[in-house]
Structure 1
Amino acid sequence: MFELFFDLVFVYAISRITAMIHHPVNGGIPLATFLEFLLVVVVVMEIWLYQVVYFNRYSKNNFLDIAGIVLNMFTAVCLANNINTEWRITFHYFNIAMAVMIATIFCQYLFTSVNEVNDKREFLFILGIEFFLVILGLILGYSVGIYFCIAAYIIGLILPIFLWEKFKAERVNFPHLVERVSLIVIIAFGEVIVNLVNYFNSKTPLMYAAFLFLSLVLMFASYVLLSDKIINHHQISRGFVLMYSHIAIAISVLLMTVDALYLNNKNVDRKFLYGLIVVTIVLYYFSLIVNQVYNKKVCRFEKIEAIILLTIFVIGALILWLVKNSILGVMICLLIWNLAFFLVFLMKSKNSLN
């Protein structure tokens, strides 16, 4: 229950992240702003995942575990409140909050009473490096220290990949991990739904909101089929692909929020919006498909199905280009596009019943 309580903070954090790119500049998103957005998503998802992994592998839900997650909840609110594109202003507040959260998780790993499978030292090593670089960055100040902080978060993200063989797969509670990453996807989709409120006004046809809502339902339904029906929950795995793919899924869903907002904004360049939607669709469905490494054997995609998925994407992208200047046309295209992907996942999920 405290893990679910912890997730509530990230509802606010995700809304703050999306706000970074809510407003177009000269018809699109400046590259620097977009890269800042990506980095902040990675940082927030990274700290969330480290906490998830600790509870998944080691937590006994004792007093120290609960105290640590409550402290990180409070700190995460401070972190979320300092998410914006004015990094110079919020540099110290944001990175102090990150340092506190990293230190808390480090202590949780350090003092856990679980010793039978000793892969704690890898987590301690990574978190220790990350903490050191963040503190060094804070000491040096914004102009130089920002690079140390960015390096810290990138190291915290990619270093586990190089050390993946050191982590013990048998320590992972895989069904719990699937459940936890699914919750962050639900939170991200919730942000998209909340932003559909912009379509409920006297000037916008109600069918716009209906088409977008149905498209989101189909996207989410494809994810539900994957996580509930297609993935084999009863397996021994480190879960690396699952965790990293869900960072990409979270990014794609947040981009869908921006797609929905920009679609009804006449100041947005239609070619830019086309590119953004295509990137969103590619990132989302590729991130779903890459999880087939965890699929039940009868639910793994064959070459012919990969060709079908690619064909659906290419045809959808071509049609989207033709209707890019029509709001209604784009919405109908998105609806049919997502329906086609959903039907492929639906047919694949039926194999699990055989």
Structure 2
Amino acid sequence: MFELFYDLVFVYAISRIPAMIHHPVNGSIPLITFLQFLLVVIVVMQIWFYQVIYFNRYSKNKIGDLSGLVLNMFVAVYLANNINIEWRVTFHYFNTAMVVMVATLFCQYLFTKVEENNDKKVFLIILELEFLLIVLGLLVGYPAGIYFCIAGYIIGFILPIFLWHMFKEEHVNFPHLVERVSLIVIIAFGEAIVNLATYFNNKTPLVYAALLLLSLVLMFASYAILSDKLINHHQISKGFVLMYSHIAIVVSILLSTVSLLYLQIKNVNKSFLFFLIIGSLSLYYFSLTINQIYNENTCKFAIRDFLTLITIFSLGAVYLWLVISSELGIAICLLIWNLVFFLDFLMKSKNSLK
């Protein structure tokens, strides 16, 4: 229950992230702003995942564990309030909050009592490196210090990939991990629906809101089929692909959220909008299908399944290009596109589970 309570803070944090790219500049998103957006998503998701992994592998739900959780909740709100593209202004506030959160996580991993054959030392090494680089960045100060902080965040994000062989898969509670990553996806979709609420007014035809809401519902329904019906929840796995793919899924949902908002902006560059929608949907469905490695043996994807998905995506991209100048055309395209993906996944689940 405390983990669910912890998630509420990240509802707020994730709601702050799209504001970084909420308003296009000259009809599009500047590259530097987009990279800042990606980095902040990685930072927020990284903190969330390290906390999830700790509770998944080591926590006994004792007072020390819950105290660390509550402290990070407090600091996460402070962190979220300093999410923007004006890094010069929020440099010390944002990174100080990260220092506290990383230090709290480090202490949780350090003081937990586990058996001798454990892998917590790997987490301690990664968190210690990240902590030292962020502190060094704060000591150096802006602007040079920001590069040390970024290096720390990137190390915290990618170093587990290079050290994957050092992690013990038998320590992972896989059903719990699937449940937790599903919740962060629900949070991201909740942010999309909140932003979609701007379409529900007396100036915008209701058909736009209906079509776009149904599109989001179908996207989530596809996720629900793959994560709930096809994945084997009771397996022994490190879950690396599951965790990293869900970071990509969150990024794709946030980008889809922004693209829905851009439909209402008259001066947005149509070519940019096309590639934004294409990029977000391709990332979303690729991240979904890559998780098929966790499916039941009878539910694994064959070459034919991948070719079908590529065909659906290609036809949808062509259709989108033809209607990119029409807001209604885009809304209809998204509905049909996501509907076909959903029907394909639904047929796959029915055939596989017979």
Shorter-chain TM-score tier: over 0.9
Partners of 1:162 and 1:171 in 2: CA distance = 19
AA at the equivalent of 1:249: I
The equivalent residue for 1:51 is: 51
Shift >4 Å, 4+ stretches: none
Partners of 1:171 and 1:145 in 2: CA distance = 37
Q: Contact conserved, 2:188 with 2:253, CA < 8 A, in 1?
A: yes
Partners of 2:322 and 2:286 in 1: CA distance = 23
The equivalent residue for 1:142 is: 142
Q: Contact conserved, 2:298 with 2:353, CA < 8 A, in 1?
A: no
AA at the equivalent of 2:346: L
Partners of 1:207 and 1:264 in 2: CA distance = 14
2:71 maps to 1:68:
no
State TM-score, norm by structure 1. 0.99
Q: How much has 1:300 moved relative to structure 2?
A: 0.9
State TM-score, norm by structure 2. 0.99
AA at the equivalent of 2:294: Y
RMSD, matched Cα: 0.7
Q: Could you tell me which runs of 5 or more consecutive residues in structure 1 were left unpaired when the two chains were aligned.
A: none
Partners of 1:116 and 1:131 in 2: CA distance = 25
Partners of 2:119 and 2:27 in 1: CA distance = 49
The equivalent residue for 1:126 is: 126
Q: How much has 1:305 moved relative to structure 2?
A: 1.0
Identical pairs, percent: 72
Partners of 1:352 and 1:238 in 2: CA distance = 25
The equivalent residue for 1:232 is: 232
Distance 1:305 1:352, change over 3 A: closer
Partners of 2:180 and 2:114 in 1: CA distance = 21
Q: How does 1:170-319 map to 2 (within 5 A)?
A: 170-319=170-319
2:164 maps to 1:164:
yes
Q: Contact conserved, 1:229 with 1:352, CA < 8 A, in 2?
A: no
Q: How much has 1:24 moved relative to structure 2?
A: 1.0
AA at the equivalent of 2:259: D
The equivalent residue for 2:347 is: 347
Is 73-82 or 113-122 further displaced after alignment? 113-122
Partners of 2:102 and 2:349 in 1: CA distance = 39
Aligned length in residues: 354
Q: Could you tell me which runs of 5 or more consecutive residues in structure 2 were left unpaired when the two chains were aligned.
A: none
SS at match of 2:143: helix
Q: Contact conserved, 1:298 with 1:351, CA < 8 A, in 2?
A: no
Q: Contact conserved, 1:117 with 1:171, CA < 8 A, in 2?
A: no
Q: Contact conserved, 1:225 with 1:349, CA < 8 A, in 2?
A: yes
AA at the equivalent of 1:253: I
